[in-house]
Amino acid sequence: MSVLNRLNKDFPDNFLWGASTSAFQVEGASAEDGKGLSVADIRSMDSDFLDTSVSVDHYHHVEEDVALMKELGLKSYRFSISWTRIFPNGNDQQPNAEGLAFYHRLITLLKKSGIEPIVTIFHFDLPQALVEQYNGWADRRCVDDYVRYAKFLFDEFGDVVNYWLTINEHSLLVNVPSMIGLKDNDPKKLREMAEHANYHMFLAQAKVFNLCHELLPAAMIGPAVSYMTNLSYDHKSSDALLGKSLEDMVSFITMDVAVRGEFPTYYTRKLVEDGISLPIQPEDEKDFETGRADFLGLNWYCTSIFRHNKQASSKMLAGVVDQIERYEDPALQHTEWGFSFDPLGMRYALQRVHDRFPHLPLMITECGWSEKEQLEDGRIHDSTRVRFLNDHIYQIREAIRDGVNVISFNPWSFIDLLSVNDGIDKRYGLVYVDRDNFSEKELKRYKKDSFYFYQSVIQHNGRNIEKERTGN
């Protein structure tokens, strides 16, 4: 055995070049063909922008959209299955046949096009009926309903789906509990409900890891983690520790529990200090001991800088991290929504996960650049997104050369879609959809300049990527 590791020079030949979306953000048809209401549907109805009723209407454009994926040359497509399109109330005795037929059609089209489906089981769209029945994830009954739903998907699609993601951005749902339908005027009670939901999601995930390994031993399964990478504001230990604390509570807790099967001390200490106990049952321990992830899905967009500010009001759940504000480094370019352009941060972020979990396969499940865009003679000249893709893919290749086991890149997003908080204005897609927040127009699809750039990257397996041009 050699003490020297073999150096990787390029992306492996079996690298999965993909793109990402989620059901409630692209499908539309939110009340068609037997689909039930989700929390995401209801939240969108309260928005000042478009809702989930049509979005970009992938539900009725699925053949056209998969044809575009094939033309792009995708090797993978990361999407989610809508829980309420399969089980309208979340725990129905029988599945919704029309919803089931849609996903069979989608997955069959993908497989015929040589595209590997990467399926997210739960992406922000908790059945509203479960909230009304027992307060959703805050109640242990949601664990059983989620596991039953996941088992149904394994039984139905396990022969054609090799990659599964359990829960998308688990920590975001806990820190913004309205996203899973949790509300209370008492901040302490809301925090306790959110932490109970946190525990139940972790338990459900561990059970589903075990179930996948039992039913689909050749498949791989993992979480889709909201991965925050923070830099120190003022070169002080207090700022560095602030950034690390945020990373721990938002990102690394999800990874630690999924990979190690135990709750980290930095988290349990905070619960004890805040007087919160988790609804642990003795039989849960075995599920955590054996239910481990095969890989990590990383939703990574940018580096961030936070600093203390006693007057600042955090968007996060009160009691998790308070009195902080985000600071924008003037040396970096930022989107209109405050996300930085920092490709070297991608390499740094990947190295940190590799250091924590050596050699564990990593899948980049989201990464993208958002802009407001306008058609110009039937074209979208999204040069900044092209540069973003080039520079970040370059740094992913550098991370692979560092020894990081990156197996897939799925930028957000394949097509323009409904943003969680900003409607259609916040465009991430490689494909433009001609609609705005108030008019569906014809929903015509247009290939952006970034589509053609990424198509070339895939054709060359990333070997045509240039050294980054941002100067970082």
Indicate which residues carry an active-site annotation.
169, 366
Q: Which helix (H) or strand (E) holds 193?
A: helix 187-215
Under 8 Å between Cβ of 46 and 423: no
Under 8 Å between Cβ of 444 and 433: yes
Residue 326 phi, psi dihedral angles, 5° rounding: -85, 140
Angle of CA points 302, 305, 309, to nearest 5° = 145
**Per-residue CA distances from 448 to 54, 73, 149, 445 (Å):** 22, 15, 37, 10
Q: What is the DSSP string of 283-352?
A: THHHHHHH---SSEEEE---EEEEEE-TT---SSPTTTS-SEEEE--TTS-B-TTS-B--HHHHHHHHHH
Beta-bridge partners for 304: 230
Rg (CA), the chain: 21
**Per-residue CA distances from 355 to 179, 364, 421 (Å):** 32, 17, 34
Choose among 390, 369, 410, 431: nearest CA to 117: 410
